[in-house]
Amino acid sequence: MGHNHNHKHQDIATEDKVIKEELQGDVFFKEQMLTNPNRNGKKFYIESYGCQMNFSDSEIVAAILSEVGFEPTRDIDQTDLILINTCSIREKAEETVRKRLQYFNSLKRHRPHLLVGVLGCMAERLKGAFLEQEKIVDMVLGPDAYRDLPRLVATAEDGDKGMNVFLSREETYADINPVRLGGNGISAFVTIMRGCDNMCSFCVVPFTRGRERSRDAFSILAECSELFANGYKEVTLLGQNVDSYKWDNPETNQKVDFADLLLMVADIHPDLRVRFTTSHPKDMTDKVLYAMSSRENICKYIHLPPQSGSSRILKKMNRTYDRAWYMERVEAVYRIIPDCVLSADIITGFCTETEEDHQETLEVMRLSNYYMSYMFYYSERPGTLAARKYADDVDMETKKRRLEEVIQLQNQLSLEHNRQEVGKIHKILVEKDSKRSDLELCGRNSQNKMVVFPRQEAKVGDYVWVKITDFSQGTLRGELVEKPV
């Protein structure tokens, strides 16, 4: 039965309050369905690989399944439906998924009614292989097709395989209120846009996730407000390229850009921290930096991937900026937000990369002083611009050696970063128990640095003040202190 859900905000709401009520109605509806024995308590199990966007999408999928009476479970032995949300970004990610699928398929031998579905970025490329040649899955759905999941599940329950890998220009799942899976109840991801129009030559994302589109700002605000009302203290706004967020407010005819959106979300409440990822160096404006510096609760941390430090390689990567442009953006960050921390994505051994190019990457890392980096060697992806135009001509040994040098440098930078923190006092959002000891908690500061400290009276979800006493490459340790005046 379709829940008649009108999400044309321009028709029904002039204030986000109204939308919020509407969304709460939606939650109520879901709760009813969850406890509704319609489907005899059928359960689904979902596993996610790849980027945060995929994990966030799994929560949208969970919401869609909940509406038709499926309950989430973390027990693979007790589930009726297994879903795997896949990633195509590097070859290794795809290999991992293939192994998991073989395992899921082996479970089917003893559980003939068990259904297995493939979601996400591998869907488009491998639909034929999974469904037809290998026959190891019952359904395949691309990132824009999740609303079709109930239909494909029903089809599969009747014994027919199905797929939907249609990529949309509009779908943002704006009206769907994600079911939070496995979170800490404190920190949530909120998708603000989908797809990517950038066409970096190494990247498969424009092919797997389609065109870029921004989500209705009111629905983003409603989701964040509701999270805060439910005890959440931190939202991370997600998009492949958040700086190109743009949305026309149909009521005022005003354009909302990413800086505007950041301020709107930050102004929900001073105790709601706002983070975001990922920023593209070509689009990150001073307006965003000034917005960040104007609000204490917008975290002073930017993930600003250079990919390479060589202008020649950047051109081949089709990043549309050069080294000088990138360094100018880094300088703007440190000028406008002196306490800001940066992190990076770096690829070593891209097509034609020389030793000099590699040295330039190391130099950009030093100059930018990243606190941490996600570092990869280049992995050619079928269908990308680079795969079609350039030979993958740096041998594996060199790729790996350069990657090792990049990692070594990053380790040094991280350690130095943390050494500077000793004696300083930070405001920490308490996130969870420390892994090592029951007597300790951990959480991050505004700059996204993880800090471990004695539990004492503190609780998960509190803001506490911690004076740093010790450090390692990945973590800071400290003691609770009074809030500084």
Interface residue list for ligand SF4 (CB under 6 A)? 50-51, 53-54, 87-89, 120-121, 204-205, 208-209
- 87 interacts with, out of ligand SF4, ligand 5AD, none, CB within 5 to 8 A per kind: ligand SF4
CB of 316 vs ligand 5AD, minimal distance in Å: 13
- Segment near ligand 5AD (CB under 6 A); pick from 254-262, 283-291, 359-367, 373-381: 373-381
44 binding ligand 5AD? (CB under 6 A): no
What's CA 271's distance to the chain center, in Å? Answer: 22
β-bridge partners, 346: 307, 375
Looking at residues 81 to 110 of the shown chain, list those that interact with ligand 5AD (rule: CB under 6 A): 89-90
- 88 interacts with, out of ligand 5AD, ligand SF4, none, CB within 5 to 8 A per kind: ligand SF4
| ω into 172 cis (within 30 of 0) | no
- 90 interacts with, out of ligand SF4, ligand 5AD, none, CB within 5 to 8 A per kind: ligand 5AD
Looking at residues 340 to 369 of the shown chain, list those that interact with ligand 5AD (rule: CB under 6 A): 345, 347
CB of 202 vs ligand 5AD, minimal distance in Å: 4
- 121 interacts with, out of ligand SF4, ligand 5AD, none, CB within 5 to 8 A per kind: ligand SF4
CB-count exposure of residue 224 (10 Å: 0-12, 13-18, 19+): buried
- Segment near ligand 5AD (CB under 6 A); pick from 18-26, 213-221, 360-368, 371-379: 371-379
**CB 115 within 8 Å of CB 81:** yes
CA distance 338 to 342: 11
49 binding ligand 5AD? (CB under 6 A): no
- 198 interacts with, out of ligand SF4, ligand 5AD, none, CB within 5 to 8 A per kind: none
- 174 interacts with, out of ligand 5AD, ligand SF4, none, CB within 5 to 8 A per kind: none
284 binding ligand 5AD? (CB under 6 A): no
| E strand segments, 325-420 | 341-348, 372-377
**CB 283 within 8 Å of CB 241:** yes
User: Which helix (H) or strand (E) covers residue 274, if one does?
Assistant: strand 273-277
b/e burial code for range 303-342 (CB count within 10 A of at least 16 → b) = bbbbbbbbbbbbebbebebebeebbebbeebeeebeebbb
CA distance 142 to 437: 42
Looking at residues 379 to 408 of the shown chain, list those that interact with ligand 5AD (rule: CB under 6 A): 379, 381
Closest to ligand SF4 by CB, 386 vs 476, is 386
Which own/partner pairs from 77-81 qualify as long-range (CB within 8 Å, at least 24 positions apart)?
78/43, 79/43, 79/44, 79/45, 79/114, 80/42, 80/43, 80/44, 80/113, 80/114, 80/115, 81/42, 81/43, 81/44, 81/45, 81/114, 81/115, 81/116, 81/117, 81/153
CB of 172 vs ligand 5AD, minimal distance in Å: 21
Torsional class of 75: left (φ above 0), alpha (ψ -120 to 50), beta (otherwise):
beta
One-letter amino acid for residue 413 of the chain: L
- Segment near ligand 5AD (CB under 6 A); pick from 212-220, 231-239, 375-383, 447-455: 375-383
326 binding ligand 5AD? (CB under 6 A): no
- 305 interacts with, out of ligand SF4, ligand 5AD, none, CB within 5 to 8 A per kind: ligand 5AD
Contact footprint for ligand 5AD (CB under 6 A): 89-90, 202-203, 305, 307, 345, 347, 376, 378-379, 381
